[in-house]
Structure 1
Amino acid sequence: MFKKSFLLIILTIAACGKENKTSQEEEIQLKVVSKGTSVEVVKVSDSVFNKQLWVNGKIEAVKKAELRFQASNQLSSVKVANGDYVKQHQIIGVLENSLLKNNMQKATIELQKAQNKLAAEKINYGKQNITPSILKNLEIKSGVIEARNNLERAKIEYDQTFLKAPFSAIVANIEKREGDYIGTADAFCTVINPNALEVSFAVLENEYQFIAKNQEVEVRGYNAKQKSFKGRITEVNPLVDENGLIKVTATIIDKNTGLLDGMNVKILINHPLHNVVIIPKSALVLRSNREVVFTIENNLAKWNYVEIAGENSDSYAVKKGLKGTDTVIISGNLNLAHNTKVIAE
């Protein structure tokens, strides 16, 4: 009996201790609730908001040309390789031209002979009596004009064996090798000016309002390590195609971009929205499938239905439901209700 009584006393003491501990925890929780839920807040204001539109595009070279020889013959030498940078008028390739070079030298000699004959005709005629019309007749008679034309033709034919860069550019698409025969219809290479680029892209017809001529855009490659570059819209085609798309062209403003002709890129278009309230994305929550933002007034959370005008990577533009003087709750707002006590941290 003594053992049983002792055990009963111990169990009673333990139960009382557990009850006291539970009461203390509940009391602490009640105190926390009574003080309010801890939240983070931020002050908002009316401002200009850049609504962002991302589209895909393709880089195109403005100064790009396929080069062909003006004569047909065996390729004597190739002066550059694909990817090389060449300056304007730099020689890219040369055709076999030994015979044409010989013709030019022969024409030079024939011209010298004709000039010597002309000099003798002038002496015989008397230099003081030679008028411009007489001089022309003497040049025809001596063969100077014919020899001069023959030399000019020989030089043109010789020069046509040299292919030169029409502008400073990067060389691409060289496929011929020394010794290959190449005709006037065969493209020897393509030259591309890397600092004269544009990007073409398309927008949906309901996005037409976001673009305008001379508007700045941002161009980014798909490689995460690539920088972004500035562009400016130069053309907006005023037609909608069968797919509901509008073609747009923008010039790349920056130089030495490393972008290549034909490269796929992303284009960011910022469309400014005026007289809107900008909030962080974390301030927006959903209640019954409606967009809600909680503001704080006198340490109470206030429930506000809002209407979103646009968004970018980290913010929303609110056109209805908030004032520019409001303070919004940006954390601890997932389980809030209207008039919940809150503590701003």
Structure 2
Amino acid sequence: MKRILLGGIIIVSMVFSACRDHSKQSSEKSDKAAQVFPEPVEVKVIKLKKGIFENRRYTNGIIKSGRKAVVSFPMNGILLEMRAYNGKWVKKGEIIALLDTIEATVAIERARMQLERTHLLFLDNLIARGFDVKNLHNIPLDVLENSKIISGFKEAEINLEEALNNYQKCFVRAPISGIIAAMDNEIHGQITLGRQLCTIVDNSNLQVYFKIFQSDVLFVRPTTMVDIISLSDKNACSRAIIDYISPMIDENGMCEVSAIVTHNNCHFLTDGMHVKVSINTVHSNALILPKQAVVFKEDKPVVFVVKNGQANWTEVSIGSENDHYYLVESGLEPGDVVVIENNAWLGHNATIKVVDTVAYSY
């Protein structure tokens, strides 16, 4: 009886072991089948084509007035009156300061008296030489000039002209139209020749100066429009047109550029102001790649190109970029279909299922 029971247990154990081995083999076959025939990844794609690519580059710049004049006192004297003040707009030729004219007036009277005295000596010299002074136009010019020099009449004419000029210097006038700045002088104070009176800035003739990378020089040219943005208020924006691009690159790989301000909206720009400059460049007939199509593998840009239901790993060379697109330099061709969604974890030759073909949104 014991032998029969023991034999039954052995038979049951053998049957159970055989069933377990069969189940394990079936599971392994199922796993292998799953590996050979994986579930396709659902993706969205886009068909590449050429179009217009707009790119914005930003740099810092400084505003400078195209017309700015430093006004200095043209002579020594006493400051009698200030007819302008900081912030005042003045016209060219307008009197902005007045020096005491007493000494200048006396000098004019003295010069006139000298002129009258030497004029008599001039006529006496001609009479002594036998000429009719009532008809000076009949006397040779060289004789007249010689008599003026001998009599001192020529020098007296020059002295009177100088005295009149010095009198006019008492009235300091604006050399250009613009806004008064840096005016700081005391009335009735002693003024010396060359002392600075003020600076006049013409904010109607502004330029912006900035630098760009040497790689960007190819994308700008004279007449290219740029936007000028306030550092404190991004809504304060003006426009300028590039008028000069330096033919030289400095040691830092930068190129100097200047642009003439064409629209000073709200008049927020002024001389010496630091601003942000936005340069908008346009590339026509460019191959454009959506940014979401690019995956970086080991710091290299990679795109998955769809071929025969599979995603092929393709390295690309990309250039400029804007908010939504890259400019393709090499690696792709118009008509290529690339994955733009669910591409982060794709492997080379992964099986995919296209669920949507997206159109360009520019």
CA deviation profile, 1:42-61 (whole Å, cap 9, x unmatched): 66422353444322122233
Does the CA-based 8 Å contact 2:71-2:199 persist in structure 1? yes
Report what 2:215 is aligned to. 209
Deviation at 1:152, TM superposition (A): 0.8
Does the CA-based 8 Å contact 2:69-2:176 persist in structure 1? no
Normalised by the size of structure 2, how large is the TM-score? 0.66
Does the CA-based 8 Å contact 1:89-1:167 persist in structure 2? yes
Deviation at 1:338, TM superposition (A): 4.9
CA deviation profile, 1:228-276 (whole Å, cap 9, x unmatched): 3223233244330xxx353513132526464222211222345666764
Deviation at 1:154, TM superposition (A): 0.6
Report what 2:352 is aligned to. 339
CA deviation profile, 1:3-40 (whole Å, cap 9, x unmatched): xxxxxxxxxxxxxxxxxxxxxxxxxxxxxxxxx9796x
- Give the 3 Å change call, closer, same or farther, for CA 325–90 of structure 1 in structure 2: farther
CA deviation profile, 1:109-129 (whole Å, cap 9, x unmatched): 554565577678878942456
Q: Matches of 2:99 and 2:351 in 1, distance apart? A: 86
Is structure 2 residue 102 aligned with structure 1 residue 91?
Answer: no
Q: Matches of 2:310 and 2:186 in 1, distance apart? A: 78
- Give the 3 Å change call, closer, same or farther, for CA 338–253 of structure 1 in structure 2: farther
Does the CA-based 8 Å contact 2:43-2:343 persist in structure 1? no
Is structure 2 residue 181 aligned with structure 1 residue 172?
Answer: yes
Report what 1:32 is aligned to. none
Q: CA RMSD in A?
A: 4.1
Report what 1:234 is aligned to. 245
Gaps of 5+ in 1: 1-35
- Give the 3 Å change call, closer, same or farther, for CA 247–327 of structure 1 in structure 2: closer
Deviation at 1:151, TM superposition (A): 1.0
Deviation at 1:156, TM superposition (A): 2.2
Q: Matches of 1:330 and 1:77 in 2, distance apart? A: 75
Deviation at 1:89, TM superposition (A): 2.9
Q: Matches of 2:164 and 2:288 in 1, distance apart? A: 71
Q: Matches of 1:338 and 1:311 in 2, distance apart? A: 30
Letter matched to residue 132 of structure 1: L
Q: Matches of 1:148 and 1:338 in 2, distance apart? A: 103
What does residue range 177-192 of structure 1 map to in structure 2 within 5 Å?
177-192=186-201
Alignment counterpart, residue 55 of structure 1, candidates 54, 59, 67: 59
What does residue range 1-345 of structure 1 map to in structure 2 within 5 Å?
44-47=48-51, 49-108=53-112, 110-111=114-115, 125-126=131-132, 127=134, 130-140=139-149, 144-203=153-212, 207-211=213-217, 214-215=221-222, 216=224, 218-221=226-229, 222=231, 223-232=233-242, 233-240=244-251, 244-254=252-262, 256=264, 258=267, 259-270=269-280, 276-284=286-294, 291=301, 305=314, 306-326=316-336, 338-344=351-357
Letter matched to residue 239 of structure 1: D
CA deviation profile, 1:179-210 (whole Å, cap 9, x unmatched): 3333224221112332444433344xxx3122
Q: Matches of 1:185 and 1:118 in 2, distance apart? A: 38
Greater CA drift, 280-289 or 155-164: 280-289
Letter matched to residue 168 of structure 1: S
Q: Matches of 1:245 and 1:118 in 2, distance apart? A: 72
Does the CA-based 8 Å contact 1:236-1:246 persist in structure 2? no
SS in 1 for 2:199: strand
Q: Matches of 2:207 and 2:335 in 1, distance apart? A: 44
Q: Matches of 1:125 and 1:334 in 2, distance apart? A: 111
Q: Matches of 2:146 and 2:357 in 1, distance apart? A: 105
- Give the 3 Å change call, closer, same or farther, for CA 304–217 of structure 1 in structure 2: farther
- The percentage of aligned residue pairs carrying the same residue is 27
- Give the 3 Å change call, closer, same or farther, for CA 78–303 of structure 1 in structure 2: farther
SS in 2 for 1:102: helix
Letter matched to residue 234 of structure 1: I
Letter matched to residue 235 of structure 2: K
Deviation at 1:315, TM superposition (A): 2.4
Does the CA-based 8 Å contact 1:276-1:319 persist in structure 2? no
Q: Matches of 1:341 and 1:314 in 2, distance apart? A: 22
Normalised by the size of structure 1, how large is the TM-score? 0.68
SS in 1 for 2:196: coil
- Give the 3 Å change call, closer, same or farther, for CA 133–197 of structure 1 in structure 2: same
Does the CA-based 8 Å contact 1:48-1:273 persist in structure 2? yes
